Amino acid sequence: MADSAQAQKLVYLVTGGCGFLGEHVVRMLLQREPRLGELRVFDRHLGPWLEELKTGPVRVTAIQGDVTQAHEVAAAVAGAHVVIHTAGLVDVFGRASPETIHEVNVQGTRNVIEACVQTGTRFLVYTSSMEVVGPNTKGHPFYRGNEDTPYEAVHRHPYPCSKALAEWLVLEANGRKVRGGLPLVTCALRPTGIYGEGHQIMRDFYRQGLRLGGWLFRAIPASVEHGRVYVGNVAWMHVLAARELEQRAALMGGQVYFCYDGSPYKSYEDFNMEFLGPCGLRLVGARPLLPYWLLVFLAALNALLQWLLRPLVLYAPLLNPYTLAVANTTFTVSTDKAQRHFGYEPMFSWEDSRTRTILWVQAATGSAQ
Ligand SMILES: NC(=O)C1=CN([C@@H]2O[C@H](COP(=O)(O)OP(=O)(O)OC[C@H]3O[C@@H](n4cnc5c(N)ncnc54)[C@H](O)[C@@H]3O)[C@@H](O)[C@H]2O)C=CC1
Ligand SMILES: CC(C)CCC[C@@H](C)[C@H]1CC[C@H]2[C@@H]3[C@H](O)CC4=CC(=O)CC[C@]4(C)[C@H]3CC[C@]12C
């Protein structure tokens, strides 16, 4: 009896487990995965908070490693039952070179897949992105779309290009025979813009607002909807997908799922104000203060300055032609595919998600009021 209970304990590996999303996945697994026997947290930069987790009932193994190094990945994957591959280089600001983004996001994913095949790991959940679909370079709206909504996905920027290719690799690997002869089962989750505790861009906006005396200035029309999803729900979706992959392999294998919850459809800036407003900031203007052509000009100027200054200094402001296009194009999802395929229901209501995020912004900036 004790033996069979022991046999059910599983080894999970989370790549990128010290990132914004990764930390939530790690904590969620520890709270909500009863079959967890060992949790391996693989990241280039390990967080000090991991230490506190090592005193709990589940064995937590911190592995400092680089997904671009195939041998490091293979060593971490060996003996794992499930891999949640969330490590990635999230850069739409031109901080890293296109080659580095490709190396981490594409070659890193290839290394994870090959490690599963070589070592006999059968279940792989990949954190993809809405960016795999769009917004496209033509600015076509994707309005409350689902996984089957036709959309002309055209990528030029290195980040969405890399995520699209990596997702394709993961889905294509579904069914490959792993060591021991059984098939690999994979699926990809596509979050829209994630928010919640640990969201650095939210904190940057808050700090910028404070510097401007408590004011932020509207740049994007309120009518442009941008999809957002709470990090706790994204983490929960990963945990559930990983858990159900074995039982529902035929249904879930090779599938993609948008990440969704009850977060309201709003513009990027109006959505941020749901948190920054209660922290004392105000968004000025019912309409954008600057004409769109001027924003396009400023974004292009930033891109030019980035290029000119690159030999001397890294100039990577939030506004560039790509981020402007993403923020200024409607992209929202409306789907229940994850609910139908693996029983996903958001764990956190919109009210909970909002409260948790507000408390984090206040605490993180030392501005609790
Ligand atoms: N933040 C967002 O709004 C969205 C993020 N995503 C995806 O979610 C995943 C996680 O993103 P975030 O948590 O936001 O980013 P993050 O930058 O906070 O986390 C990524 C983690 O991956 C690690 N990492 C990066 N390069 C690595 C390497 N070569 N080897 C090992 N570890 C490496 C980083 O150290 C970091 O801890 C990424 O794959 C991203 O593409 C998808 C949709 C939206
Ligand atoms: C006034 C400016 C134009 C406002 C700039 C806001 C931008 C920095 C952000 C607007 C939309 C964000 C992206 C979006 O949420 C989708 C994403 C998915 C990912 O997989 C990674 C992050 C991101 C590209 C996200 C990045 C910041 C924005 C471009």
CATH number at residue 156: 3.40.50.720
**187: closest CA among 79, 13, 342, 335?**
342
Q: Tell me if 299 CB under 6 Å of ligand 2.
A: no
Select from 89, 268, 319 the residue to mutate for testing ligand 2; criterion: most ligand atoms less than 8 Å from CB.
268
pLDDT in tens, 42-84: 999 999 999 999 998 999 999 999 999 999 999 999 999 999 9
Burial class of residue 210 in the structure, from the number of CB atoms within 10 Å of its CB (0-12 exposed, 13-18 middle, 19+ buried): middle
Q: Tell me if 324 CB under 6 Å of ligand 2.
A: yes
Nearest CA to ligand 2 atom 1: 219
State residue 5's pLDDT score.
47
Q: Please report whether residue 122 resides in a domain.
A: yes
**What six digits make up the tokens of 222?**
């309120």
State residue 366's pLDDT score.
64
Cis peptide before 135 (omega within 30 of 0): yes
Q: Which ligand 2 atom lies nearest to the CA of residue 193?
A: 15
Domain that holds residue 233: 10-201+227-267+331-350
Alpha carbon distance 108, 127 (integer Å)? 13
Q: Please report whether residue 222 resides in a domain.
A: no
Torsion angle of the four alpha carbons 341, 111, 51, 191, in this order, in degrees rounded to the nearest 10: -40
If one counts the domains in the chain, the total is 1
Residue numbers of the chain with a pLDDT score lower than 50: 1-3, 5, 367-369
Alpha carbon distance 175, 124 (integer Å)? 11
Residues known to be catalytic:
159
50: number of Cβ within 10 Å:
18
Instruction: Write out residues with Cβ below 6 Å of ligand 1.
Output: 16, 18-22, 43-45, 66-68, 86-90, 104, 108, 127, 129, 163, 191, 193-194
For this complex, say whether ipTM is above 0.90. Answer: yes
State residue 7's pLDDT score.
53
Q: Please report whether residue 182 resides in a domain.
A: yes
Alpha carbon distance 154, 320 (integer Å)? 18
Q: Please report whether residue 81 resides in a domain.
A: yes
State residue 155's pLDDT score.
84
Q: Please report whether residue 147 resides in a domain.
A: yes
Beta bridge partners of 69: none
State residue 139's pLDDT score.
86
State residue 219's pLDDT score.
94
State residue 137's pLDDT score.
78
Give the amino acid at 29. L
Q: Please report whether residue 214 resides in a domain.
A: no
- Starting from the CA of residue 268, give the closest ligand: 2
